[in-house]
Amino acid sequence: MSTFPKNFLWGGATAANQLEGGYNLDGKGLSTADMVKFVPKNISKGKNTEVVSYQTVNEILHGLHKNEYYPKREGSHFYEHYKEDIALMAEMGFKCFRMSISWPRIYPTGEEKVPNEEGLKFYDNVFNELLKYNIEPLVTLSHYETPLNLALKYNGWQSRELIDLFIKYAKTCLTRYKDKVKYWIAFNEINMSLNVPYSGAAIFIEKTCNPNSATFQALHHQFVASALVKKISKKINPNFKIGSMVGMSLFYPYTNSPKDVLLTQNANRINYFFFDVLSKGIYPSYAKKYFRKNKINIKIEYDDLEIINKNTVDFNSFSYYYSNCTGEKINKKDKILAFLPEQKRYDEFHPEKIRNNSLEITDWGFQIDPIGLRIAINEIWDRYRKPIFITENGLGTYDILTSDKKIHDDYRIKYLKEHIDQIGKCIDEGIPVIGYTSWGCIDIVSAGTSERSKRYGYIYVDADDYGQGTWKRYKKDSFYWYKKVIESNGNVL
C-alpha cells in the first residue's frame, strides 16, 4: 500500500512571468518582471555561489534599452503552446498544476475599472484545458510581479493603495474562476521581499536588505491583502482553500556551540515570522522586538490586526531547495553570498549563510539536502497543525539535448527521488502533506538570474538564454520517471 494518500496532488509548478511570454499580447500591460534583462555572466558555471546579475531597482524601473534582451517577456512561449504543454503534463499523469495569473494581463496598469476580457479568456482556456484532463489548478495571484505602473506610481507595496487595487484584481479572479479553481495562494514566497527587491513579491525598495521601515510596511500591506483574500474568498466559494507560500531557507548550526544554536534558532525565525502572521494570525513577539531594536515603524491601521487574526490560511505551503548553516565564527571562504552584495552583515532577518561541507552543491550553489525537507515539514506541522503542500522543489541545472533529441537527466531523477522519499516518511508519521508540485516542470526562465539554461523541467524547451532555438518540447528521462512515480502513487521511486 502506498504511503501517499489516494488523492495526493502530484504535479508541477510554474509562474506566469517565467513561463507565458506574450508580454504585450491581447491587451496585457507591462509588469515589473518584463523589465528584468538578461545579463550574461560566467560565474554560474563551476559551482560558484555568487550571484551578481541583479539590476538595481532604478535600472529595472527606468532602464528600457533597445538592445537588451528581456527573457521574461518571452518565457517559454506557453501563451501559444499551452495546449501542447498541458497535454504533456497530462501524459505524465499530473493531478495538479501550480501556475500564476499575471496581474497586468487582467488589469494592464492595475488601475482600470474594468478587467481586460482577453486576459481573463486566456486563463479560462488554460483552466478548461487542465480540467479536461482532471488536473487541479493551484493558482498564485502574485508571483514576483506587479503592474509596472503601480511600481512607478506608488512605489509598489510601500503604499497602502496597493491593498485595494490588489483586492479588486483578486476578487475578479476568484469570482470568474470560482468553479474552476479551488486552491489559491495570494503571494509567492512572501518572505523573499527581504532579500530580492524586485522579484521578492515585487516590493520596490532600494537596498531592501537593510532592516528598514519601508520593507516591513510593504510587507504589512501584503499581510493585510493576504488576509483579505481569505476573507472575500469564502464569500465567493466556501470550498476554496487558501494557502500561505514561504520560501523555506532552513538553517543548521555551523558548530555545536550553544551560541550557534541560538543564532540558528533566530535565523529560522525568519521563516516562522511569515507563517506566524499568515497561519496563526499574529505578529510574533520576537518580530516586535526586532522592530523596536531597529527603529522600524510600521503604520498599522485600526482593524488591520483583527483582519490578519481572523483570516488565516487553510493550508501552509512552502518551497524548498536547499539548507544552509549559520554561526558565530565564520571562515571567509565558507561564506555564501547568496543574494544582494549589500547583504553582508548578520542580523536576525539576514543571517550569514555558511557552506555545509557535508552536502553536495548544484552548479548554482544550492546545497542539496533531502533530509532538510523532512525537517522543514516536521517543523511546520509541529508549529501550525495545518495541511502542508510542497509547492516548489527541484534541481536547476544544465541539460544536454543529444543529437537524437534525448535528455539523460539522471541527476534530476536522483534529486527528486530523494526528496519525495522524505515526504513519504513524513506522511508515514501521520503528517497531512496534501501535494507536491516540483518547480519548473517544463523548462522556464530562472527567477533569480533570468537564464534559460538553468533548467528544472521534465519537459525540455529548445531555446537558449537569448531566446534562440526552435521552442520545440522534448521529454527528458525524468519525464518517464515521474510518470511512473505518479502512476504508482509514489510506490515506485
User: Grid coordinates in use for 261?
Assistant: 544554536
Query: In whole angstroms, how close is the CB of 354 to ligand BG6 at the nearest point?
Result: 20
Nearer to ligand BG6, 188 or 367 (CB): 188
Q: Count the helix, strand and coil residues of the chain and give each as a percent rounded to the nearest 5.
A: 40, 15, 45
SS3 419: helix
Query: In whole angstroms, how close is the CB of 17 to ligand BG6 at the nearest point?
Result: 8
Which one among 8, 12, 15, 266 touches ligand BG6, defined by CB under 6 A?
Answer: 15
Query: Distance between CA 177 and CA 140 in Å, rounded?
Result: 13
Which one among 110, 243, 247, 351 touches ligand BG6, defined by CB under 6 A?
Answer: 247
Query: Distance between CA 414 and CA 2 in Å, rounded?
Result: 20
Nearer to ligand BG6, 260 or 443 (CB): 443
Which one among 12, 351, 396, 424 touches ligand BG6, defined by CB under 6 A?
Answer: 396
User: Grid coordinates in use for 97?
Assistant: 498544476
Place of cell 487582467: 106
Nearer to ligand BG6, 359 or 441 (CB): 441
Which one among 401, 448, 453, 477 touches ligand BG6, defined by CB under 6 A?
Answer: 448
Query: What does the per-residue mask of binding to ligand BG6 show for 172-201, with x meaning CB under 6 A?
Result: ----------------xx------------
Query: Distance between CA 151 and CA 57 in Å, rounded?
Result: 10
Candidates 265, 276, 247; CA nearest to 339 is 247
Nearer to ligand BG6, 427 or 463 (CB): 463
- Active-site entry in 129, 392, 418, 451: 392
**Are 224 and 168 within 8 A, CB to CB?**
no
H helices present in 184-284, as ranges: 213-236, 258-275
Candidates 480, 483, 478, 464; CA nearest to 76 is 464
Q: How far is CA 168 from the centre of its chain?
A: 22
Which one among 446, 459, 461, 476 touches ligand BG6, defined by CB under 6 A?
Answer: 446
Q: Which of residues 23-82 bind ligand BG6 (CB under 6 A)?
A: none
350: Cα within 13 Å, side-chain hemisphere: 22
Query: In whole angstroms, how close is the CB of 239 to ligand BG6 at the nearest point?
Result: 26
**Are 384 and 316 within 8 A, CB to CB?**
yes
Query: Distance between CA 28 and CA 118 in Å, rounded?
Result: 9
Query: In whole angstroms, how close is the CB of 453 to ligand BG6 at the nearest point?
Result: 11
Question: Count of residues binding ligand BG6 (CB under 6 A)?
Answer: 15
Stretch that binds ligand BG6, among 113-121, 204-212, 277-285, 440-448 (CB under 6 A): 440-448
Query: In whole angstroms, how close is the CB of 447 to ligand BG6 at the nearest point?
Result: 3
Write the single-letter amino acid at 304. Answer: D
Query: In whole angstroms, how close is the CB of 373 to ligand BG6 at the nearest point?
Result: 14
Q: Is 389 in the site for ligand BG6 (CB under 6 A)?
A: no
Query: In whole angstroms, how close is the CB of 266 to ligand BG6 at the nearest point?
Result: 22
Q: Is 20 in the site for ligand BG6 (CB under 6 A)?
A: no
Q: How far is CA 134 from the centre of its chain?
A: 24
Nearer to ligand BG6, 116 or 393 (CB): 393
Q: Is 439 in the site for ligand BG6 (CB under 6 A)?
A: yes
Annotation marks residue 392 as catalytic: yes
Nearer to ligand BG6, 215 or 449 (CB): 449
Which one among 312, 319, 326, 343 touches ligand BG6, defined by CB under 6 A?
Answer: 319
Q: Which of residues 136-175 bind ligand BG6 (CB under 6 A)?
A: 144
Nearer to ligand BG6, 249 or 489 (CB): 249
Candidates 428, 430, 413; CA nearest to 492 is 413
Burial class (CB within 10 angstroms; exposed 0-12, middle 13-18, buried 19+) of 124 = middle
Query: Distance between CA 115 and CA 121 in Å, rounded?
Result: 11
Phi, psi of 219 (to 5 degrees): -65, -40
Binding site for ligand BG6 (CB under 6 A): 15, 18, 144, 188-189, 247, 319, 392, 396, 439, 446-449, 454
Residues annotated as part of the active site = 392
